[in-house]
Structure 1
Amino acid sequence: MRTGTRAWRSGVLAEENFPLTELHRYREQDDVIVWVDLCAPGPDEVRLVAHELRLDAHAVEDALAAGERPKFDRYPSHLFLNTYAVRVDASTGELTSHEISAFIAGRTLVTVRPDDGFDMDAVTRRWDGRMLAAHGVGHLVHGLVDEVADGYLAAAQVLDDASEDLEDMLFDERTPEQAVHRRSFELRKSLVLLRRRVVPMRDALSALMRPEVGLVTDGLVASYRDVHDHVLRVTEWADSLRDLITSVLDTNLTIQSNQMNLVMKKLTGWAAVIAVPTLVTGFFGQNVPFPGNGEDWGFAVDLALLLISMTILFVLFRRRGWL
C-alpha cells in the first residue's frame, strides 16, 4: 500500500506526504485544498478517509470493487467518479486498463487505485500553476480526467497505426493468412475494450460538467469541454477502426474466394488440356481395326493429334487467362 497526500494553500504547495491522521486538520482550513491518493489501500486507511469525508458506503464499495463501469454519481456529502486509464502495447496490440476512483468532497480530492499501473505523477505535474488557486478542486479533477483522456487518444493512435500495418499484411503474399486473422481479432478485441471504457466516460463527463454539480467553474468550462471533445473523438475513432477491421476481415475472405476461383479455373483448364489427348489415345487404343492400325504412319498421326490438340488448348486457355 502506498499513500500520497498534498495540501495547497492559496494555490501553493504547503505540505506533502503528511499522515492521514492529520487530514482533518487541513480540511478545517478554508484556504487549503487537499489531495489524498490511496494506492492498493488497506481497510484501516479506507475506514479513516471514509469517516473523515462521510463517504457513502455504496460509493466506497464501488471504489474498492474491481470491474465497475466508468460513471459519475452525486451523493449528499460528496461526488464520486469512476474511470479507467488505458495503454496499448504497440507490438501485440493488447490493451490494458487501470481503474481509478475519485471522491470529491468540498475542497478535498481522494483518488483510489488498486495498483500503480497509472502514472499519477503525470497528473500532479498538471496541477502546478495559478489555476489551482482560482478554481480549486475542480482544477485537480480536470488534471486527472485530462490525463485519462490523453491516454485514450494515445491508445487510439496506436491502434490506428496497427490497423494500417494490418492492411499491409493483407496484401503481402509472404504473410500467412493465420497471422492476418490473429492480428485482426487482437485489434478488434482491443477496440471493443477501448470503446467499453470510453463511451461511459463520455456520459460521466457530461454529468460532471452540469452547472448544478458546482464543480466546474466558469474559467474551467473550456478546459472540460476540450476533454469531453477528446473523449467524443476517441469514441468515433474506435467505431471507425472497428469498421475498418471488419472490412479487412471481409476483404481477406474475398481474396481467399478469388484465389480459390483462380485455382479452380486453372485446374479446369489443365483438365481440359489433358482430356482431349486422353480421348485421342483412347480412340487409337481401341481393340478393333482402324486405318493405320499397326502402321508407322498411324502412330505418327496419333502423336501429331496429341501434340496439336494440346498446343491449341494451351494457347487458347492461356490467352483467356485460364492457365
Structure 2
Amino acid sequence: MTKVTGRLWRDGEPHDDEFAFDAISDCLASERQLVWADIYDPDHDTLRLLAAELGLNTWAVEDAVAPKERTKTAVYQSHTFFTVYALGTHEPAGDSASMLVKHRISAFVLPRALITVRLPGLNSGAAEFDIGEVSRRFDELGGQSHGVGALVHGLLDVVVDGHFDAVQVLDDAIEALEDELFSGSGDRAEPHGLQRRTFRVRKDLVDLRRVVLPVREVVSTIQHRRLDARTSPELDPLYADLYDHVLRASEWTESLRDMVTTVFETNLSLQDARLNTVMKKLTGWAAIIAVPTAITGFYGQNVLYPGVDTVAGFLTSSAVIVVLVVVLYAMFKRRDWL
C-alpha cells in the first residue's frame, strides 16, 4: 500500500504541517522553500502523476519501480536520478538462508526538492529502512541552509553506514567460520554444515559487492553535479568524507571475498589432509593384521609340517605372530603412521 510522508521548510524553518503531496509543484515555485517527499511502496499511477507535475524523466520513473534495478545514477537537464540499496542484517533461519536484507531506494534530486521512492524489503519480517534517520542527519547539518544537497548527503550517509554494518557482520561470520574450521567441531557435528555456511557467506558477499561497489559512481556523480551548480560549498568536505567511506567499504568487501575464498580452499585442503591421515592409518593396521593372517593361513594347510598337532608348534606360531605384530606396530608408530 502506497504511503507518502514529507517535510517542508520555508526560510530555514520547518513547516511540516503544510506539506501536501498534491501541491509539491506549488511549493517548488518559491525559492524560499525546500521540499522532501518520501513515497513508500508506490503504485505506477502515483509516480506517473508526480512525474507529469514535476517534469521528471519518464524512463527514470519506470526505473524507480522496475524490479531488480541495479545501483546507478543518471543526470538529466532538470534533475538527477539515482538508485541505491540500503542494507540490513538479520539472523538467518538456516544454513542456506541469507543474512542480508536489502531495501531499494530511488531518488529524484531537484534544485529545491528531494523525492525518494522506497520499495519494501525483500525479506519478510525484516526491519524496514529507518527513513527518519535521514531527516535527523539533515537537521544536524543545519537544515535548509545547505539546500537539497544536505538532504542527499543525509540519505547517502545513512545508506553507507548500513553498508559498513553489513560488512562487519559478514566479517564476523567469516571469523566464526575460521574458528570452526580449525577447531574441527563443525565436521564432527555435521559434515556438510561448514560447507553450507561458507557457501552462504560467499553468496552474501556477491550480493554485497553488487550493492556497495557502484555507490562510488553515485556519490562521485552527485558530488560533481553539486560542484557544477556551485551551491553549498560547506558540504564539499562532507561529500569528500562520504566518498572516502564508500571506498573503504568497497575495499573491505573485496578483502572479505579473498578471505572467504581462502576459507573455502583451506577447508578442502584440510579434508584432503584428514583423508590422507585416515588412509595412512588404515594401511598401517591392514599391514599389521596381514601378518597373523599369513601365519595362521600357513599353519592351516592340510599338509604335514614341523610342529603340527603339537603344543610346541602352537606356541611357536603364536610367538611369531606376537613378535611380528609388536615390531610392525613399533615401526609404524615411530613413523607416525598410526
Q: What TM-score comes out, normalization by structure 1 length?
A: 0.94
Matched, 1:279 2:294: yes
Give distance in 2, aligned partners of 1:44 and 1:226.
38
Q: Secondary structure at the match of 2:185?
A: coil
Deviation at 1:217, TM superposition (A): 3.2
Kindly state the Cα deviation for residue 232 of structure 1 after the two structures are TM-superposed. 1.2
Residues 53 and 105 of structure 1 are in contact (CA less than 8 Å); yes or no, is this contact kept in structure 2? no
Instruction: Tell me the residue number matched to 2:105.
Output: 100
Amino acid paired to 1:115: P
The alpha-carbon deviation at position 246 of structure 1 amounts to 1.1
The answer as to 2:22 corresponding to 1:8 is no
2:61 aligned with 1:60: yes
Residue 44 of structure 1: CA displacement?
Answer: 4.2
Q: Work out the CA distance in 1 between the residues paired with 2:48 and 2:183.
A: 59
**Residue 184 of structure 2 aligns to a residue in which SS?**
coil
User: Structure 1 residues 156, 170: closer, same or farther in 2, change over 3 A?
Assistant: same
* Correspondent of 1:299 among 314, 319, 324: 314
- Structure-1 separation of matches of 2:148 and 2:318: 97
Corresponding position of 1:240: 255
Partner Cα separation in structure 1 for residue 144 and residue 20 of structure 2: 23
What's 2:31 paired with?
30
Tell me the distance in 1 between the aligned counterparts of 2:115 and 2:99. Answer: 30
Larger displacement relative to structure 2 (87-96 or 301-310): 87-96
SS class of match (1:7): strand
- 8 Å CA contact 2:75–2:81 kept in 1: the answer is yes
Report the alpha carbon displacement of residue 36 of structure 1 after superposing the two structures with TM.
0.8
Per-residue displacement from partner, 1:14-67 (whole Å, max 9, x unpaired)?
A: 234632222233211111111111112234432332122100111111112121
Identical-residue share of aligned pairs (%): 44
Is 1:204 paired with 2:218?
Answer: yes
Residue of structure 1 equivalent to 2:229: 214
Deviation by residue 1:89-140 (Cα, 9 ceiling, x = unmatched): 2456521211111111110110111237321111111111463233200000
In the TM superposition, what is the alpha-carbon distance from 1:177 to its structure 2 partner? 2.9
C-alpha contact (below 8 Å) 1:90/1:158 kept by paired residues: no
Gaps of 5+ in 2: 122-127
Change (3 A) 1:4 1:226: same
Partner of 2:120: 115
- Confirm or deny that 1:187 pairs with 2:201: yes
- Structure 2 residue identity aligned to 1:180: L
| Secondary structure at the counterpart of residue 183 of structure 2 | coil
| Native 8 Å contact 2:205 2:257 kept in 1 | yes
Residues in 2 aligned to 1:17 and 1:239: alpha-carbon distance in whole angstroms: 46
1:244-300 superposed Cα distances (whole Å, 9 cap, x missing partner): 111111111111111111111111111111112222222222333222222221111
2:269 is the counterpart of 1:258 = no
**Structure 1 CA distance for aligned equivalents of residues 141 and 222 of structure 2:** 23
CA distance in 1, matches of 2:155, 2:56: 20
Letter in 1 for 2:308: N
Matched, 1:140 2:140: no
Provide, for residues 161-193 of structure 1, a one-character-per-residue CA deviation record: whole Å limited to 9, x for no partner.
Answer: 111111111123332231101110111111100
TM-score after normalising by structure 2? 0.90
Closer/same/farther in 2, CA of residues 130 and 188 from structure 1, 3 Å limit = closer
In the TM superposition, residue 317 of structure 1 has moved relative to its aligned partner by 1.1
SS in structure 2 of the partner of residue 210 of structure 1: helix
* 2:169 pairs with 1:154: no
Partners of 1:141 and 1:295 in 2: how far apart?
101
1:46 aligns to 2:44 (yes or no): no
Cα distance between partner residues in 2 of 1:215 and 1:36: 24
Are 1:79 and 1:104, in contact at CA under 8 Å, matched by a contact in 2? Answer: yes
Aligned residue pairs, count: 323
SS in structure 2 at match of 1:209 = helix
2:284 corresponds to which of 252, 265, 269:
269
**Cα distance per residue 1:191-230 (max 9 Å; x no partner):** 1001101111111111111155427632111111221111
2:49 and 2:9 mapped to 1: Cα distance? 21
Pairwise CA RMSD: 1.8
Once residues 215 and 149 of structure 1 are traced to their aligned partners in structure 2, the CA distance between those partners, rounded to angstroms, is 25
Partner of 2:124: none
Question: What is the identity, as a one-letter code, of the residue corresponding to 1:242?
Answer: R
Task: Give distance in 2, aligned partners of 1:187 and 1:17.
Answer: 47
Structure 2 residue identity aligned to 1:45: T
Moved more, 233-242 or 171-180: 171-180
